Structure 1
């Protein structure tokens, strides 16, 4: 039989293979090893198995369970200190330590009124348009196995980390997290979203550099993990956060039908998530156990359908429609408003690059487009609908808006947030009926630039971007309704196929 020997204690000695037999002892293997190495026997070393079990020196290889082809390791022998211990003295010491521990536990109980102290944690949401760090706390004694998190404080910085230099990313993150923690020791978790997903697809080396800079900056503050979240995970987290904040989770009734679906309109992607029945099957379904109850959540993310990237696609769309002219008429900007953008700003993006645009950009690297608004709400909605139509989208792009592959629950209610909320909040329209909102938005989108600025609900900061966002938002809102209707029709067709 052949046994492989490797000296872990002496890395300078090369591994070797010894030919022997099952009746040979562990001592004979050691002797053969030292003889082949040409060095003196070292009594401090012994043979160990891969699982770190020592081999008795005088026992046969067969009795020790060593088989041909096995690898044994030479390691330093364990010092038998436990056999030399004074067990009586050790017992006395252990008793004293136990009494001190009991005394300290009693003092802690009295000082806290019997409550388990709070545990803290920091979550850094590194989005495509801004970064937000939030400090949470929850009691160490979790409720039904899950902590009830309460927000303590938060800090924001403008700009997504995907658009920053690694050094600035590190400085901004360190400043935000250090300000939150103060003297608190807490684990820090960073999750980057769609902006970094896009960058990771186009410039993976740059994405790695930014993530490494973030890790280096936050490690002194207790960083546990820094990752680029998948779109699916982002959707699941959106669903969980929504239902936790509206206090649907944790539930006392034991029914999951009351949970809300989530519509998250971000900067570079849109997430849709909703609960599904136990018989639904899809790779996009995640099972969660929260507060002792199980939930099944379908979540999907649509990359390039956040407000920043869909705006970029819209501009690319009307440029192509108007054959790459220097002056482009935009139906989604108010009449009387003009602005300039370079071709690189529009086409050097994962969400807008195509073989045609890439070829055109190589031929016109310094091109600048002038956009002139004509304030046509109907044409704007039509253009946005083209971007949302999967059949039209697939003619140019690989990331398109597809209906979910599982039945949408009938009567499901949804919470829409992020850019959905910001737009409605700016108009003071969060409680406005849908028809009224659509009429008001059409009025603002169709107004001239001067008229739009005088409307009572017009925000004062970044107004031209707001109007475009509003017009695109209406298109997205209408499409979200169409999206759910289409999904429901597909669900009914699957449940009731034609005879």
Structure 2
């Protein structure tokens, strides 16, 4: 059904994005940025006191660099969408279980009493472990085989932190960190089905950044522990791997559009697939299905790694996808802090002086770790002060985005990456924002949530960057939002970066509607379900 691609992560840089040719190997922005910065120093950091006098110090923000995805959120339901209804002669049940708790018998299914294919089990479980940059998560999926292909029923989700990349040099410790997740699988998968329940561990951008040698040691230890301690068979193809960024994005696209009922064989005629934008800690992905005007010259998706042909639901989808390593939210923070520190060093030679950072909310302070050009690390005290603000922060982020990078194949989005114009090829399609987009925006929304546009994010960023006076003016009485913002100086940076990514990077219009999602009817959105569908749709081998 789906042909997963093999990993080629070794070609990706550890810095600000994937190269388009072999000569671009500098892991940080080109030295030419320094010239731009020198010009901007005077107007960007206009006269203003950068001392801490009268400013509220940060009290606690120790979790900010490894910011875990929240353990649970309220479902974000979309209209007129439902999960798969299998093709079977059995009558559809009046009550469909949507969770482990509502399932009358996890070893059976309510949809039929025998599988359509006698050689297939009536119930099939699959385990997908997402080894991300900020933590590891397990998705325990239940499928049934009442129809011609496995049909998804529900998910059990658990997570732990830190991620595997925090165990550099400790491969056995990395492998053991997954025990709490695999023990959850043992608790929920019926014993008789465990030998035929495939497990896959797919690491993403965080582990890529460790380099081939250290990441291979960790993955080897994980594979060894899975095969010797647990009863689940490791998936034959790409069972324990660093997942290619292209697969990460495409699988997220499959998950969302499968659940939203836009790409299945039983989807409504003319259903339009969502564009899916996923923002992780170390990387960000965009996947959409561009539509070209055949009457215009050169109106087709150019050949290249960005092109992904997918057979799904009886249709061929020609997708555009790109994964930007280095443009995840945590990496964006590091890049901004590093640039601010460099610019601050041009203004003073005094040791231990606090550095003004326009991307911290006004009245806040934070000690950040900055990596120097030589690879060493230092702690720098940064303050928002009177210079903090959306507009001034946006100027910094514009430099980080590398919008003016050389575009070898036009049109480009940012960092010199080819991308068909969204205005021309996806002018009216729906847009779904996942992961950190949801985590930062959702707590700030009122109840009921209003129409959400690109400009809404800019409006939020403007008030968040103003500090407490701005928070209390916009979110007066909204204790959830105020508690979310408290002691989070970089919320200003996060929202400003998100807006810049969408508006400047991808060139969505400010008035464009967007949707955010974390779960859909109890199922986590993201790449994991799409990868699991591919896994159970392939050849499965049980353990003896």
Taking structure 2 as the reference length, the TM-score comes to 0.59
Q: Residues 206-239 of structure 1, C-alpha deviation per residue, up to 9 Å, x if partnerless?
A: 1111111211222233222111011111111111
Match for 2:426 among 404, 410, 413? 410
| Matches for 1:441-452 after TM superposition, within 5 Å | 441-448=461-468
Q: Residues 54-87 of structure 1, C-alpha deviation per residue, up to 9 Å, x if partnerless?
A: xxxxxxxxxxxxxxxxxxxxxxxxxxxxxxxxxx
Partner of 1:340: 367
Q: Residues 444-479 of structure 1, C-alpha deviation per residue, up to 9 Å, x if partnerless?
A: 2112489669853535368444x5235332332243
Q: Report which stretch shifted further, 170-179 or 405-414.
A: 405-414
Provide the rounded CA distance (Å) in 2 between the counterparts of 1:425 and 1:366.
Answer: 34
SS of residue in 1 equivalent to 2:359 = coil
> Is contact 2:333–2:493 with CA below 8 Å preserved after alignment?
no
> Is contact 2:361–2:384 with CA below 8 Å preserved after alignment?
yes
SS of residue in 2 equivalent to 1:129 = coil
Match for 1:132 among 122, 127, 137? 137
SS of residue in 1 equivalent to 2:303 = coil
Q: Residues 271-292 of structure 1, C-alpha deviation per residue, up to 9 Å, x if partnerless?
A: 0001135942322211111222
Provide the rounded CA distance (Å) in 1 between the counterparts of 2:128 and 2:142.
Answer: 11
SS of residue in 1 equivalent to 2:180 = helix
Provide the rounded CA distance (Å) in 2 between the counterparts of 1:389 and 1:158.
Answer: 32
> Is contact 2:308–2:319 with CA below 8 Å preserved after alignment?
yes
Partner of 1:382: 395
SS of residue in 1 equivalent to 2:341 = helix
* TM superposition shift of 1:197: 1.6
Partner of 2:113: 113
* TM superposition shift of 1:265: 0.6
* TM superposition shift of 1:403: 4.5
The answer to whether residue 209 in structure 2 is matched with residue 198 in structure 1 is: yes
Partner of 1:247: 261
Kindly name which structure, 1 or 2, has the bigger radius of gyration based on alpha carbons: 1
Provide the rounded CA distance (Å) in 1 between the counterparts of 2:503 and 2:266.
Answer: 31
Match for 2:244 among 209, 223, 230? 230
Provide the rounded CA distance (Å) in 1 between the counterparts of 2:220 and 2:138.
Answer: 18
SS of residue in 1 equivalent to 2:209 = helix
Provide the rounded CA distance (Å) in 2 between the counterparts of 1:274 and 1:451.
Answer: 35
Provide the rounded CA distance (Å) in 2 between the counterparts of 1:304 and 1:385.
Answer: 15
Match for 1:218 among 215, 226, 241? 226
Provide the rounded CA distance (Å) in 2 between the counterparts of 1:484 and 1:335.
Answer: 28
How many residues were matched structurally? 353
Provide the rounded CA distance (Å) in 2 between the counterparts of 1:335 and 1:470.
Answer: 9
* TM superposition shift of 1:253: 5.9
SS of residue in 2 equivalent to 1:113 = coil
Provide the rounded CA distance (Å) in 2 between the counterparts of 1:154 and 1:474.
Answer: 30
SS of residue in 1 equivalent to 2:481 = coil
Cα 1:485/1:392, change in 2 over 3 Å: closer
Provide the rounded CA distance (Å) in 2 between the counterparts of 1:266 and 1:199.
Answer: 17
SS of residue in 1 equivalent to 2:178 = helix
Cα 1:307/1:484, change in 2 over 3 Å: closer
Partner of 1:178: 183
> Is contact 2:362–2:465 with CA below 8 Å preserved after alignment?
no
SS of residue in 1 equivalent to 2:483 = coil
SS of residue in 2 equivalent to 1:149 = strand
Partner of 1:476: 498
Provide the rounded CA distance (Å) in 1 between the counterparts of 2:184 and 2:414.
Answer: 40
Q: Residues 377-426 of structure 1, C-alpha deviation per residue, up to 9 Å, x if partnerless?
A: 211122112211333699xxxx9634534454232321111111111111
SS of residue in 2 equivalent to 1:390 = coil
* TM superposition shift of 1:485: 3.3
Cα 1:458/1:149, change in 2 over 3 Å: same
Match for 1:358 among 358, 367, 373? 373
Provide the rounded CA distance (Å) in 1 between the counterparts of 2:176 and 2:364.
Answer: 37
> Is contact 2:261–2:267 with CA below 8 Å preserved after alignment?
no
The answer to whether residue 155 in structure 2 is matched with residue 152 in structure 1 is: yes
> Is contact 1:123–1:189 with CA below 8 Å preserved after alignment?
yes
Provide the rounded CA distance (Å) in 1 between the counterparts of 2:275 and 2:143.
Answer: 25
Provide the rounded CA distance (Å) in 1 between the counterparts of 2:484 and 2:267.
Answer: 45
Partner of 1:296: 318
The answer to whether residue 328 in structure 2 is matched with residue 314 in structure 1 is: no
Which of the pair has the greater relative contact order for Cα pairs under 8 Å at 6+ separation? 2
Cα 1:458/1:223, change in 2 over 3 Å: same
> Is contact 1:274–1:297 with CA below 8 Å preserved after alignment?
yes
SS of residue in 2 equivalent to 1:288 = strand
Provide the rounded CA distance (Å) in 2 between the counterparts of 1:322 and 1:392.
Answer: 24
Greater fraction of residues in helix? 1
Match for 2:198 among 178, 187, 202? 187
Greater fraction of residues in strand? 1
SS of residue in 2 equivalent to 1:199 = coil
Cα 1:261/1:162, change in 2 over 3 Å: same
Partner of 2:517: none
> Is contact 2:290–2:426 with CA below 8 Å preserved after alignment?
no
The answer to whether residue 308 in structure 2 is matched with residue 281 in structure 1 is: no
Taking structure 1 as the reference length, the TM-score comes to 0.63
Q: Report which stretch shifted further, 133-142 or 320-329.
A: 320-329
